Amino acid sequence: MRPEDEDRIAAQLARVMAVACVRNTQLEALHAGRTPISRTGDGSDVIVQDAEGNRIPWSEVSRIDDDEMRALMREIVDRLYTFHLRIDDPAFRAEIDRWAAMTAKWDAAKPDPVLSAIPGKTPERG
């Protein structure tokens, strides 16, 4: 298979896995709710006051607690696992192919710098 075909397939698979295994999870509940108004646009002018009167700049506020993060990661791992187990099932694949259309206008995938920095035997493609 040509490298450009491998890249195209990997990019499409990454987008489909993102929508099927990450987007439609508890992450949606964490994303729901009111977003504070920031006149600067970066949240530096937003302050959160907690129940003890502590004033916390928005950029320093944790928006997800440990239990929520643990539950989210469990759900994502379970979905990724199930995705890999079922990807050869024709009915599952047909549904996934329909979901792929949802991602058609998403930004193009690009290599992640952290994962790309891990040494390996596969030569870099440019």
pLDDT in tens, 22-57: 988 988 888 888 889 999 988 889 999 999 999 999
| Whole-angstrom distance, CA of residue 106 vs CA of residue 29 | 21
Q: Is the pLDDT of residue 87 over 80?
A: yes
Query: Are the CB atoms for 96 and 87 separated by under 8 Å?
Result: yes
* Top-confidence residue, 32 or 72: 72
Separation between Cα atoms, residue 78 and residue 57, nearest integer Å: 34
List the domain boundaries for the chain.
3-34+65-108
Band of pLDDT at residue 80, cut at 50, 70 and 90: very high
pTM: 0.77
Q: For residues 104-118, b (16+ Cβ closer than 10 Å) or e, as one string? A: eeeeebeeeeeeeee
Average model confidence (pLDDT) for the chain? 90
| Residue 124 pLDDT | 64
